[in-house]
Amino acid sequence: MYDLLVKNGIIIDGTGLPAYRADVGVSGGVIVEIGELNTSGNRVIDAEGLIVAPGFIDPHTHYDAQICWDTLVTPSSWHGVTSVVLGNCGVGIAPCHWDAREVAMRDLENVEAIPFEVLEKGITWDWESFPEFMDFAQRQKIGVNTAFLAPLSPFRHFVMGQESIERAADEREMCEIARLLGEAMDHGAFGFSSTILNQHMGFGGKPLACRNASRAELKAYANTLKKRNKGAIEIALTRQLGVLEEDQCDILDMLLDESGRPVTFIAMFDRDDISEAVRESLRRAKPMIEKGARPQTSPLPLTREMDMRNPFSFASFPSWKRVFENKSKEAQKLIYADPEFRKQFREDLKNPTGFADWERITLHHARSEELAPFVDLPVSEIAHAQGKDPVDAFLDIAVTDDLACEFTIQSFNTRIDRMAELLNDPSILIGLGDGGAHVDMLCDSGYPTYLLGTWVRERGVLSLEEGVRRLTSDPADLFGIRDRGRLRRGYAADITIFDAAEIGSSERPERRYDLPGGAKRMVMPSRGIKYTIVNGILAWKDGFEQSANNGVVLKS
C-alpha cells in the first residue's frame, strides 16, 4: 500500500517528453512507481483529466526573512511551487553579527522594498553564521523546500564591518570571506549571489556592500565553487534592464571561467523604449551562453505599485540618492518640494536607466480629496490637465497627499511578439518572480501559473510539455538539485496537479494586511492548481492552504 496514490493523471514528467497517462505511487516522501498501479493507497487522489507534473522550482526569490513568519511561503505554494531558491541579488540576513542587524534590515528595505517595521517585528535572529541560518530554516519546518544561495553583501559586512560599504576587501579580508563562502557551500549552499545594479542601494543610501567587491574578490569567491565542482552564481548584472554592456560581459566571462559553473544573470526584460536591447544583449552574451551563462527573465509584464516613502523604481537615478539617505517623512517631503532636486531629476531623465514615459505611471490611490479627480489617470494626463511639467505634477501629488499616495508603473515585457521570441530562446531561464520582495507594491511570484495559462494555453507560444520543463528540470539542472524537477522513480515526491484548461493567475493582485504588525502586502491568487504536494504531503488543495510543513532544506 502506498502512502499516496495519484490515479488516472496525465503525466508531464518535466523532461519535455510527450504527455502520457499513468498513476503515481508515493511512499516515504519518494516516488516509488509510475504506471498502471492496482495497489491501493492510504490517500488516493483521482487526477482524471488533470496534469500531474513535478513541483515547480522558483530560482529567484527573496523569502529569506519571510520564512521567519510564513512557513507556507505564500503565495508561491499556491502556484504549484514546491522548491524556492533564496539569497538572490547579493542581499540577505546571514551571516550577521548581533550588532549589525539594522544594516541587514536596511539593506532589505532599500533593495527589496520590504518595510523595515515588518522586518523588525518578523525576523527572529536565531542565528549568526550562514550554516546556522540554514539549520534554523530546517527547524522551522517550512511548507516548501528551500535552497540557499550565499548573498555576498552580508558576508562582506560580517568580515569588514562598515568598511564593506566603502571599499574593496584587502587580501586578508578577501581570504576570510572566501573561507566563509566555502563553509556555506560545504554546509549545502548552492553557490553565491551578487549585484552591480545602480538601484541596489543599501544601508544609509550607499551602494550595497557587494557592489564594492573587486575583480580579485569575485575571482576568489568564484574559485570556491570551482574547488568543489558544484553550485551556481546568480548576479544582477545589467545596470540598465535588458542592456548588457561590454564591461558586464567581461565580469560574466570571468565568473564563468573562474568558477567552472553556470552563472545566471538578470535582468533580460524586453523594452519597447530601447527596441533592440535584449536582442543585442543576447548576441553579445552568446560566447558566455555557450560556456554556461543563463540570462533570466520573467514571463510577466512588469507592473508594480510604488509609494513615495520607498520609491524603489527611481533608485537608479543619482538625484534620488538623497531620498534614500533621508528616511523620515518630513525630510523626504522637503526633498520632493526642492526645486534643485526637481531640476536634477529632469537632467537624469535625459539619460534614463529604467523609466522615461509618464504615460506609464498612473495615480493608483490618494487620500486627499483634492486629488480624487486624478485617481486612475496617468501622470502625463494629470500634468496636461494642470498645465504642469510631468516632474512637477508627479512630485506635487506626493507632497499634497503627505506621501500617502501610491502609483502603478507599467514598464517592460509588454510586446507579445518579442516576449514569444524571448521565451522560446532555450538559453533563457524563466524566473525573476522576486517572491518575498517588493511586497507592498507588486506580486510577481505567480509567474508559473501565468506562464502556463497565458503563454502556453492562450497564446500557444510554448507547448505544455516545454512550459512544465522550463519550470521544473531546467532550474533543477542549473543549480544541481539532483532529485527533484522530474517525475521519476526514486525522486522526491514533489508534485503539482493542475487543470490545464483553467490554470492561470488572477487579473490583479489582492491587498492583504497579514505581514508582521498588520502591514500591507500584495498577493497574487492562483487558478487551476488543484494540489501542491511537497515530499508526499499536501501543502495546497484546491484553493486552500494545508497544515503540513513538510519541506526540507535542500543541500548542494
- Model pLDDT for residues 129-179, shown as the tens digit of each residue: 999 999 999 999 999 999 999 999 999 999 999 999 999 999 999 999 999
- List, in order of start, the domains of the chain with CATH numbers: 56-302+412-478+487-518 (3.20.20.140), 305-410 (no CATH)
Mean pLDDT of 409-413: 81
Q: What is the pLDDT of residue 355?
A: 61
The secondary structure element, H or E, covering residue 393 is helix 390-400
Segment 484-536, tens digit of pLDDT: 999 999 999 999 999 999 999 987 788 899 999 999 898 999 999 999 999 99
**Cα–chain center distance at 48:** 33
pLDDT at 353: 56
CB-CB contact of 201 with 109 (8 Å) = no
Burial of 33 (0-12, 13-18, 19+ CB in 10 A): middle
* DSSP per residue, 279-294: HHHHHHHHHHHHHTEE
Cα 453 to its chain centre, rounded Å, is 20
Query: Model confidence at 301, in pLDDT bands (50, 70, 90)?
Result: confident
pLDDT at residue 313, rounded to an integer: 76
Q: Are 528 and 450 in contact (CB under 8 A)?
A: no
Q: Which three cell numbers stand for residue 379?
A: 501622470
Output the pLDDT for position 356. 60
In angstroms, the Cα distances linking 434 to 59, 137, 226, 447 are 9, 19, 28, 10
Sorted by sequence, the CB contacts under 8 Å of residue 286 that are 6+ apart come out as none
Query: What tens digit of pLDDT does each residue of 355-400 get?
Result: 667 888 889 888 999 999 998 899 999 999 999 999 999 999 999 9
| DSSP conformational letter for 1 | -
Structure pTM? 0.87
How do strand 537-541 and strand 529-534 relate by DSSP bridges?
antiparallel
Question: In angstroms, rounded to a whole number, what is the distance separating the alpha carbons of residues 444 and 266?
Answer: 15
pLDDT above 90: residue 303? no
Q: Strand pairing partners for 435?
A: 61
Strands 2-11 and 20-27: antiparallel
Spell out a b/e string for 257-290, using b for 16 or more CB atoms within 10 Å of the CB, else e.
ebbbbbbbbbbbbbbeebeebbeebbebbeebbe
Q: Which residues pair with 192 in a beta bridge?
A: 150, 233
Q: How many Å apart are CA 19 and CA 465, to the nearest integer? A: 7
